[in-house]
């Protein structure tokens, strides 16, 4: 990473505003998946051990620019305090005189957590007045919210323009792993793409075809390629507007683009629906393809086991339903067993890996869904672009 890192800052007795990504699922006042909180701990611990006062800020959910009891940060504060083992002082506002006072009254232990930044309309509009108020709270700014880096908001871009800024340890890890995959992958480099739509992932396919030795395609997006090849696809999801693109991608990439050879089909996308496995070019009418079949899992495993670098985004089937989760599970296990540097990005793919308990077996799991895809597409993320170089 060529950005200034939190490790380069003189932190002793400094108030440090830290943008974290604590946008976690909350149910009945409890955090149901604390992955993102855990991933922010190294930066928070680093700051504390260097004598800094961390002032954490994040958005949570999609409140409409005003306070909304459903999205208060209290459940996050409770979970963070358990994980950190240090007091977390949660404030009921993100800016204002009480906030300034609470931060200045710090007794040398623990962290301050500001209220949800999206309770303020100035967050998403990157309002200069709101950014000024946030910047006035601290001496330094550290951005550890890779998952929010594709948004030019006050807590990502506005504050970074107003104070000495650096990347946090998680941000650094995300950038380093994704850069390694994109710029300097050890070969063979195998990319695996799945999920619902070709249209969502066109930029990602394009970018990966530029570097990958093979690109394995699963999920619903495969059917747009099959349709373009003239196969019968029954009632499978297809994007007719993308048939030409699909043809072009297949022509340009030749054998590097690997499509499923068999498909699990059923009449409906439902638990308990009667399913069968058929060849990719023979999906019966009235049926839809909902997962890759066992021969495809074997084929993909062959590529994966020989890889030195793996990037995976998008489930291979409707993994939310057990009957159609085997393809995703097979691929996840193959990636977990491989010795390769493995990077997994994308909200649903990461959820699938977590559900299988395989997260510890991957080299890097990106905390950014949309952000990691935009990064792989080669787009400049505003939250990263704004950080100064070393």
- Residues forming contacts to Mg ion in the complex (CB under 5 A) are 347-348
What is the C-alpha separation between 47 and 24, in angstroms, rounded?
A: 22
| Partner interacting with residue 220 (select from ligand ADP, Mg ion, none; CB below 5-8 Å by kind) | ligand ADP
The answer to whether 4 is a known catalytic residue is no
The answer to whether 180 is a known catalytic residue is no
What is the C-alpha separation between 301 and 127, in angstroms, rounded?
A: 49
374 part of the interface to ligand ADP, by CB under 6 A = no
- Residues in contact with ligand ADP, counted by CB under 6 A, come to a total of 20
User: 100 is written with which tokens?
Assistant: 């300034």
168 part of the interface to ligand ADP, by CB under 6 A = no
Q: What share of the chain is helix, strand, coil (3-state, %, to 5)?
A: 45, 20, 40
Q: Which is nearer to Mg ion, 347 or 383 (CB)?
A: 347
What is the C-alpha separation between 292 and 270, in angstroms, rounded?
A: 16
Give the residue closest to ligand ADP by C-beta.
Answer: 195
What minimum distance in Å lies between the beta carbon of 17 and ligand ADP?
30
What minimum distance in Å lies between the beta carbon of 195 and Mg ion?
6
Q: Which is nearer to ligand ADP, 354 or 363 (CB)?
A: 354
Sheet containing 275-279: which strands, arranged edge to edge?
Answer: 275-279, 262-266, 288-292
Q: Which is nearer to ligand ADP, 21 or 348 (CB)?
A: 348
What minimum distance in Å lies between the beta carbon of 202 and Mg ion?
15
Site string for ligand ADP, 257-296 (x = CB under 6 A): --------------------------------xx------
Q: Rg for the chain (alpha carbons), in Å?
A: 23
DSSP string for residues in 31-93: ES--HHHHHHHHHHHHHHHTT-EEEEE---S---SS--GGG-SHHHHHHHHHHH-S-EEE-S-
Which stretch of DSSP H or E encloses residue 350? helix 347-355
315 part of the interface to ligand ADP, by CB under 6 A = yes
Token pair 């510890």 in the structure block, residue = 360
User: 177 is written with which tokens?
Assistant: 């792993």
What is the C-alpha separation between 67 and 282, in angstroms, rounded?
A: 54
What minimum distance in Å lies between the beta carbon of 318 and ligand ADP?
4
Site string for ligand ADP, 2-31 (x = CB under 6 A): ------------------------------
CA distances from 350 to 51, 82, 98 (A): 34, 24, 39
200 part of the interface to ligand ADP, by CB under 6 A = yes
3-state secondary structure of 106: coil
Q: Which is nearer to ligand ADP, 75 or 293 (CB)?
A: 293
Contact set for ligand ADP, span 333-352 (CB under 6 A): 346-349
| Partner interacting with residue 349 (select from ligand ADP, Mg ion, none; CB below 5-8 Å by kind) | ligand ADP
What minimum distance in Å lies between the beta carbon of 50 and ligand ADP?
36
The answer to whether 90 is a known catalytic residue is no
196 part of the interface to ligand ADP, by CB under 6 A = yes
What minimum distance in Å lies between the beta carbon of 219 and ligand ADP?
4
CA distances from 30 to 24, 34, 70, 76, 131 (A): 10, 10, 12, 8, 30
The answer to whether 36 is a known catalytic residue is yes
- Residues whose CB is less than 8 angstroms from the CB of residue 351 and which lie 6 or more positions away in sequence, other chains included: none
Among 75, 122, 314, 330, binds ligand ADP (CB under 6 A): 314
What is the C-alpha separation between 78 and 59, in angstroms, rounded?
A: 16
Q: Do residues 272 and 323 touch, judged by C-beta distance below 8 A?
A: yes
313 part of the interface to ligand ADP, by CB under 6 A = yes
Which residues contribute to the site for ligand ADP (CB under 6 A)? 194-196, 200, 219-220, 237, 289-290, 313-315, 317-318, 320, 346-349, 369
Q: Which residues are catalytic?
A: 36, 197, 347, 370
């Amino acid at each position: 990473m060529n950005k200034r890192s939190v490790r380069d800052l003189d932190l002793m007795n400094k108030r440090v505003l830290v943008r974290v990504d604590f946008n976690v699922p909350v149910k009945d006042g409890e955090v149901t998946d604390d992955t993102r909180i855990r991933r922010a701990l190294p930066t928070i611990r680093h700051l504390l051990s260097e004598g800094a006062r961390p002032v954490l800020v994040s958005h949570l959910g999609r409140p409409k620019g005003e306070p909304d009891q459903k999205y208060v940060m209290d459940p996050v504060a409770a979970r963070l305090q358990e994980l950190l083992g240090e007091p977390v002082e949660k404030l009921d506002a993100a800016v204002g005189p009480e906030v300034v006072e609470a931060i200045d009254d710090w007794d040398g232990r623990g962290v301050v957590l500001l209220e949800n930044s999206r309770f303020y309309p100035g967050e998403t509009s990157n309002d200069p007045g709101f950014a000024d108020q946030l910047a006035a709270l601290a001496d330094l700014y550290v951005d550890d919210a890779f998952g929010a880096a594709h948004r030019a908001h006050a807590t990502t871009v506005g504050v970074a323009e107003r104070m000495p800024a650096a990347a946090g340890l998680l941000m650094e890890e995300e950038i380093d792993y994704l850069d390694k995959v994109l710029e300097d992958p050890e070969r063979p480099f195998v990319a695996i793409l799945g999920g619902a739509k070709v249209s969502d992932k066109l930029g990602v396919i394009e970018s990966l075809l530029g570097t990958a030795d093979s690109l394995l395609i699963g999920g619903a997006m495969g059917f747009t390629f099959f349709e373009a090849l003239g196969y019968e696809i029954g009632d499978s999801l297809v994007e007719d507007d993308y048939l030409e693109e699909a043809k072009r991608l297949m022509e340009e990439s030749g054998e590097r683009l690997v499509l499923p050879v068999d498909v699990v089909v059923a009449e409906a996308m439902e638990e308990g629906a009667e399913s069968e496995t058929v060849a990719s070019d023979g999906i019966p009418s009235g049926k839809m393809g909902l997962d890759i079949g066992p021969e495809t899992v074997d084929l993909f495993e062959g590529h994966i086991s020989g890889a030195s670098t793996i990037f995976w985004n998008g489930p291979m089937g409707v993994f939310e339903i057990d009957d159609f989760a085997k393809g995703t599970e097979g691929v996840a296990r193959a990636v977990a067993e491989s010795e390769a540097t493995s990077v997994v990005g994308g909200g649903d793919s990461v959820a699938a890996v977590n559900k299988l308990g395989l997260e510890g077996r991957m080299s890097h799991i990106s905390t950014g869904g949309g952000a990691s895809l935009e990064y792989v597409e080669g787009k400049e993320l505003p939250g990263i672009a704004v950080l100064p170089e070393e």
